[in-house]
Amino acid sequence: DQQVKQNSPSLSVQEGRISILNCDYTNSMFDYFLWYKKYPAEGPTFLISISSIKDKNEDGRFTVFLNKSAKHLSLHIVPSQPGDSAVYFCAGGLNTGGFKTIFGAGTRLFVKA
Amino acid sequence: GAVVSQHPSWVICKSGTSVKIECRSLDFQATTMFWYRQFPKQSLMLMATSNEGSKATYEQGVEKDKFLINHASLTLSTLTVTSAHPEDSSFYICSAATGPYEQYFGPGTRLTVT
């Protein structure tokens, strides 16, 4: 059961434009959502998060939007830079007696110079 | 800060042998460490949650007798793949948690079983 879905395996964007990465989830028990960035042969690095009680969180060029009614969140990167090219994982966090994070399959972002 | 290392980064072993992977938090103490497995072009699949000084909690479908996890200290957790088979070949990643959802990931270990 895929509780976190990233339906776009890849996305290509021109440098300077906006990148929008989408994520859908099915488990309404998630109380936190996170985005991680991963380069090849490296572990994921934390990018930005949002509590389920909020609908927007911004950190520099990165903004995450949460639409709970649609069970959808998105990551906006503005402006996109070539160094942003990586795989982005969306994840949902929940407490089931211990904290657990469920990851989506990832979206590979290509930012063209 | 918040650096997590894994050793080895790459290992090839013969079918039937066991392989141990170490995960260390270098500059912080982590009461909880997680072990994930990633297949090509797929998500990170949580295998188990490891708490210092107690038995690991395994996710459904993960054989605890095959994937032995030991969390001996606040900075070290080990994953031993016992009697490895080619289908165990994968990318194994650990993470160390400093808060409920604050995880710092290691660089991963690529295991190839021949």
pLDDT value of residue B65: 94
- The rounded mean pLDDT for chain B is 91
Query: How many Cβ atoms from other residues are within 10 Å of residue A84's Cβ?
Result: 18
Q: Do the beta carbons of residue B72 and residue B20 sit within 8 Å?
A: no
pLDDT digits (tens, 9 = 90+) for A21-36: 999 999 999 999 999 9
Query: Computed over its alpha carbons, how large is the radius of gyration of chain A?
Result: 14
b/e burial code for range B49-66 (CB count within 10 A of at least 16 → b): bbbbeeebbbeeebeeee
Q: Locate all alpha helices (DSSP H) within A9-90, ordered by sequence.
A: none
Which has more pLDDT, B101 or B38?
Answer: B38
Tell me the C-alpha distance between B91 and A41, whole Å.
Answer: 9
CB pairs under 8 A between A and B: 57
Q: What pLDDT, on the 0 to 100 scale, is given for residue B1?
A: 64
Q: At A57, which amino acid appears?
A: N
- What CA–CA distance (Å, rounded) separates B99 from B86? 35
A42 touches chain B (CB under 8 A): yes
User: Taking CB atoms and an 8 Å cutoff, what residues of chain A touch B44?
Assistant: 44, 89, 103
Nearest CA in chain A to B34: A100
Query: Considering only CB atoms, which chain A residues are within 8 Å of B105?
Result: 36, 43-45
Report pLDDT for A43: 87
Instruction: Say yes or no for a CB contact (<8 Å) between B43 and A45.
Output: no
Cross-chain Cβ contact A93/B95 below 8 Å: no
Q: What is the pLDDT of residue A1?
A: 64
* pLDDT category of residue B52 using cuts at 50, 70 and 90: confident
Cα radius of gyration rounded to whole Å, chain B: 13
- Cβ contact (<8 Å) for B103 and A89? no
- Cβ pair A92, A32 in contact under 8 A: yes
**A67/B contact by beta carbon, under 8 A:** no
- Compute the C-alpha angle B47/B10/B2, nearest 5°: 65
With CA atoms as reference, report the closest residue to B20 among B80, B88, B65, B66. Answer: B80
Q: What pLDDT sits at residue B109?
A: 95
Query: pLDDT per residue over B61-105, tens digit each?
Result: 999 999 999 988 889 999 999 999 999 999 999 999 877 777 899
Order the strands of the B76-81 sheet from edge to edge. Answer: B4-7, B19-25, B76-81, B67-73
Tell me the C-alpha to C-alpha distance, in Å, between residue A2 and each of A25, B8, B41, B46, B89.
Answer: 8, 30, 15, 13, 22
* Mean per-residue pLDDT pooled into runs of 10, chain A (113 residues): 88 97 95 92 89 96 97 98 96 84 93 95
